[in-house]
């Protein structure tokens, strides 16, 4: 049977994948596209006697081929509602290991309403988080306790406190700090939340702590419940190493906690622009399942990924960004709330104006070394970051603003 129908018009219930395909030597894009559609839906590598007429109607259809770009429509009946592992096993599974393929990259997915509605999406999203923090119209400022690992529970909490009273809204654990021998999870949460309350009393601002609950799923839920019991309002999870199932279990537990998603490990399949899965697809999945905040890179920081990747997540499919007024995670998905884009990786105050010009206000500026590496320490580093945000909101150059703000001047001197 053929899986190609260039006259096919996708229905509203079709899930549509955009692939970039490089065929193996001697094969055409058309031939490989057909093999991909077969392997990811109802077919296999040869004709089979068990293929019944009703099953043929479930086959994926290649309906557009433009150079190496291919669009394939999948009937929703192929997928189990609310089961992201099954969906990804289909559209992002065996196809990457096929001999017919030299390189293949899943660039984008257009999700039908039927599938969207089977996931909960963010509990809070951008505007729910803003309501919690009482911050309406500026980027949120966050930091990661540094060094990544090595501090004990009290040392960790003290660093967080300095960041909060300096002006940070949010402090989070780093991706590889969970519950090590030198820093026990439960003790760290108790100590840090204690100083969060102290920082709120001192500054008159809401402050948030994001403990990393990443672990085996049952342990992760146990840790999230502990955070809730101690008065915490946030948890952080390494979504790719924990897995889509673990993330969905956490979201569906109904703990009423903001979920901050770290993307540790994403580059194993997003970095190669010719093979793998784009960050755009990862972001879609995380949003459908229900994270409230997601790391997306910075454009201007230390992590790999230029404007084309980050700006539109960011913008591997440029037309989807241009249609919206803001970054891709703000795209209107009906009842699925927009997600806060977390800009992190090599940021310091000197980069803030450019970052805000590119990404807008609905971002979280998450700086680690760019705060703790300030010549005079964490407190003044946090102050410098808030000064940079304030200057940008007022359309005042950092050089000019630094004349009356010593903390910013010191930061700019170090990170020119």
What span, in angstroms and rounded, lies between the C-alpha atoms of 364 and 135? 12
Q: What is the pLDDT of residue 321?
A: 37
**Nearest-5° angle of CA 350, CA 353, CA 354?**
95
2 in any annotated domain? no
What is the structure's pLDDT at 268? 87
Residues 69 and 148 in one domain: no
Do residues 31 and 23 make contact, with C-beta atoms less than 8 angstroms apart?
yes
Out of 65, 91, 116, a domain closes at: 116
Alpha-carbon torsion 178, 179, 185, 186, what sign? positive
| Cα of 118 vs its chain's centroid, Å | 20
| Pair of tokens at residue 2 | 């053929």
* Least confident among 70-84, 235-249, 346-360, 384-398: 346-360
Whether 335 and 242 share a structural domain: yes
Asked if residue 89 and residue 20 are part of one domain, the reply reads yes
**290, 155: one domain:** yes
**80 and 136 belong to one structural domain:** no
End-of-domain residue from the set 66, 91, 116: 116
CB 220 within 8 A of CB 237: yes
CA pair distance 209, 190, nearest whole angstrom: 11
pLDDT digits (tens, 9 = 90+) for 308-366: 444 444 344 344 433 344 577 888 899 999 999 999 888 999 999 988 988 889 999 99
pLDDT recorded at residue 51: 64
354 in a domain, yes or no? yes
pLDDT value of position 50: 67
Question: What is the domain extent for residue 368?
Answer: 125-414
- 109 and 219 inside one domain: no
What gap in Å lies between CA 198 and CA 209, rounded to an integer? 13
- Let me know if residue 373 belongs to a domain: yes
Same domain, yes or no, for 90 and 189? no
89 — alpha (psi -120 to 50), left (phi > 0) or beta? Answer: alpha
Distance CA 111, CA 202 (A): 46
CATH number at residue 230: 3.20.20.110
pLDDT, tens digit (0-9, with 9 covering 90-100), for 111-159? 999 999 999 999 999 999 999 999 999 999 999 999 999 999 999 999 9
Count of domains for the chain:
2
Instruction: Output the average pLDDT for the chain.
Output: 91
Q: Domain containing 73 — which CATH number?
A: 3.30.70.150
Position 155 in a domain:
yes
pLDDT value for 316: 42
Lowest mean pLDDT among 44-58, 91-105, 187-201, 288-302: 44-58
Give residue 45's pLDDT band: very low, low, confident or very high (50, 70, 90): low
- Whether 7 is covered by a domain: the verdict is no
Long-range contacts of 130-139 (CB under 8 A, 24+ apart): 132/206, 132/208, 132/233, 132/258, 133/169, 133/170, 133/205, 133/206, 133/208, 134/205, 134/206, 135/169, 135/206, 137/361, 138/361, 138/389, 138/393, 139/356, 139/361, 139/362, 139/363, 139/364, 139/365, 139/389
- Co-location of 162 and 280 in the same domain: yes
Co-location of 21 and 96 in the same domain: yes
Q: Looking at the domain assignment, is residue 3 inside a domain?
A: no
| 99 inside domain | yes
Q: Within this chain, do residues 110 and 131 fall inside the same structural domain, yes or no? A: no
pLDDT of residue 326: 54
Question: Active-site residue numbers?
Answer: 146, 262
- Tell me, yes or no, whether 94 and 138 share the same domain: no
Q: Label residue 212 by pLDDT band (50, 70, 90).
A: very high
Does residue 248 fall inside a structural domain? Answer: yes
139 and 112 within one domain: no
């Amino acid at each position: 049977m053929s899986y190609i129908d260039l006259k096919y018009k996708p229905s509203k219930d079709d899930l549509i994948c955009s692939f970039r395909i490089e065929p193996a030597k001697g094969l055409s894009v058309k031939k490989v596209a057909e093999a991909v559609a077969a392997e990811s839906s109802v077919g296999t590598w040869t004709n089979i006697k068990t293929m019944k007429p009703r099953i043929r109607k479930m086959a994926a259809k290649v309906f557009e081929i433009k150079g190496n770009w291919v669009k394939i429509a999948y009937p929703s009946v192929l997928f189990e509602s609310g089961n992201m592992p099954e969906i990804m096993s289909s559209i992002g599974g065996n196809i990457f290991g096929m001999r017919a393929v030299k390189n293949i990259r899943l660039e984008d997915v257009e999700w039908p309403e039927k599938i969207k509605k089977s996931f909960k999406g963010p509990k809070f999203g951008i505007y729910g988080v803003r309501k919690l923090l009482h911050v309406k119209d500026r980027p949120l400022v966050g930091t990661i306790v540094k060094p990544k690992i090595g501090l004990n529970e009290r040392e960790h909490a003290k660093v967080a406190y300095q960041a909060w009273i300096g002006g940070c809204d949010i402090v989070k654990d780093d991706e590889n700090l969970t519950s090590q021998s030198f820093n026990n999870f439960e003790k760290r949460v108790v100590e840090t939340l204690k100083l969060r309350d102290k920082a709120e009393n001192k500054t008159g601002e809401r402050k948030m702590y994001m403990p990393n609950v990443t672990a085996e799923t049952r342990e992760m839920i146990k840790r999230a419940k502990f955070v809730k019991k101690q008065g915490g309002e946030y948890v952080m999870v390494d979504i790719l190493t924990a897995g889509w199932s673990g993330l969905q279990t956490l979201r569906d537990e109904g703990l009423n906690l903001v979920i901050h998603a770290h993307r540790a490990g994403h580059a194993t399949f997003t970095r190669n622009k010719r093979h793998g899965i784009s960050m755009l697809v990862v972001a879609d999945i995380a949003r459908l399942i229900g994270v409230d905040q997601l790391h997306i890179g910075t454009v201007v920081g230390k992590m790999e990924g230029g404007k084309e990747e980050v700006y539109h997540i960011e913008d591997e499919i440029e037309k989807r960004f241009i249609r919206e007024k803001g970054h891709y995670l703000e795209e209107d998905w009906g009842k699925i709330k927009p997600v806060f884009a977390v800009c992190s990786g090599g940021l310091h105050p000197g980069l803030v104006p450019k970052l805000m010009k590119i990404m807008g206000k609905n971002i979280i500026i998450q700086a680690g070394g760019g705060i703790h590496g300030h010549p005079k320490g964490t407190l003044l580093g946090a102050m410098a970051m808030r000064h940079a945000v304030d200057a940008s909101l007022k359309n005042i150059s950092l050089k000019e603003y630094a004349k009356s703000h010593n903390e910013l001047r010191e930061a700019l001197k170090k990170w020119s």
